[in-house]
Structure 1
Amino acid sequence: MTDENNLPLKIQKEAWLENLMDQYGDRLTKLAYSYLKDWGRSQEVVQDVFLTCYQQYDIYEEINSYKAWIYRITINRCKDVLKSSWAKRVVLNNQLFQYMQTKEPAPDLASLQREGDEELANSVLSLPIKYRETIHLHYYEDLSIPEMEALLKINQNTLKTRLRRGRKLLGETIKRGDVYEG
């Protein structure tokens, strides 16, 4: 192929990626944050997700649901980060970051506050990951149980149980006031 033949494909590929970024960028960052609880790291994960999308442009016609595909990539990247040594050093032992926090709300928290109640958002973030992911996908991303089943590769009954238990834990967390503080 000559450069002339590549130019239209490159422009088409970049337009496709730009459309994905516009459509899913904020939602993916919030999804990543629900796993990582670190806004900067969440943005890095989403950038990596979009790089993966760009690299896999040649299969875009084979993708049935872009939303499920891109959410799956994001969730997998977040789980990889949580398994990494970075997560063990920073997320689990973030004493240094507690001293560096400002009084200004983080951009992620400000965004969640606009969408709903601050206490509820903090309570969701305090849930164990398996409940947090189902609550986030169902209530914040408006995914149905069958969509979540396809995305997470988890049985519908398991998802329903996690939603029920997650709601119960959420209610208990709000009553006790045990919320995530950033």
Structure 2
Amino acid sequence: MNQYGEKLMKLSYNYTKDWGLAEDIVQDVMVTCYKEYENLDKIVSFKAWIYRITINKCKDVLKSSIIKRVIADSNLLAFTKSSELTPEMTIMKRSEEEFLSACVLELSIKYREVITLFYYEELSIEEISEILKINPNTIKTRLSRARIKLKSLMERWR
């Protein structure tokens, strides 16, 4: 939980757009990890495994008929620490980060997940490919298209 909790929360929030649901999903992931503790030696890449579980649980929640998707607080970067900036610069930076986060959340899920994993989680194309079980070239294509869509969204809202 100490090592992956915050990253999994951000990843879950990126899918669900709801901090409460994201917390529930991460808690379920941690329970799954606890249950699979004796099988950890069989897992090749723990990071990829735990991200895959989180993504699958997010998709399960989104598919359920109980969920009504509501765009909530789009402050994706609320947990990031800012450097020692002046108060004015801090406000400007926060505003830009919130704007970027809001634009990322406007992307469809297939683009949002690759943007999140590549830029926010700083995973390589190969790691993303392993986590999503998608060809690396498909990941590259989605990243390229996501950047174009993100640029278009940002220009439209500015």
- TM > 0.5 fold call: yes
- Superposition deviation, residue 66 in structure 1: 1.1
Q: How many pairs does the alignment contain? A: 146
Output aligned runs, 1:4-153, within 5 Å: 21-87=1-67, 90-91=68-69, 94=70, 108-111=76-79, 117-153=97-133
Q: With structure 1 as the length reference, what TM-score do the two structures score? A: 0.74
Q: By percentage of residues, which structure has more helix?
A: 1
Q: Helix, strand or coil: the match of 2:66? A: helix
Give the alignment's Cα RMSD to 1 decimal.
2.2
CA distance 1:109–1:147, shift in 2 (3 Å): closer
Q: Deviation above 2 Å: which 4+ runs of structure 1?
A: 105-116
CA contact under 8 A between 1:39 and 1:107: conserved in structure 2?
A: no
* TM-score, L = length of structure 2: 0.85
- Segments of structure 1 that go 5 or more residues without pairing to the other structure are 1-20
Once the two structures are superposed, residues 80-139 of structure 1 have per-residue CA deviations (whole angstroms, 9 ceiling, x without a partner) of 00100122xx21xx4xxx8xx8xxx67755226958722111111110000000000000
SS in 2 for 1:111: coil
> Residues 121-172 of structure 1, C-alpha deviation per residue, up to 9 Å, x if partnerless?
1111110000000000000001111111111000111110100000000000
Instruction: Tell which structure's C-alpha radius of gyration is larger.
Output: 1
Judge conservation of contact 1:45–1:77 (CA < 8 Å) in 2.
yes
- Contact 2:15 2:109 survives alignment (8 Å): yes
Matching residue's letter, 1:155: N
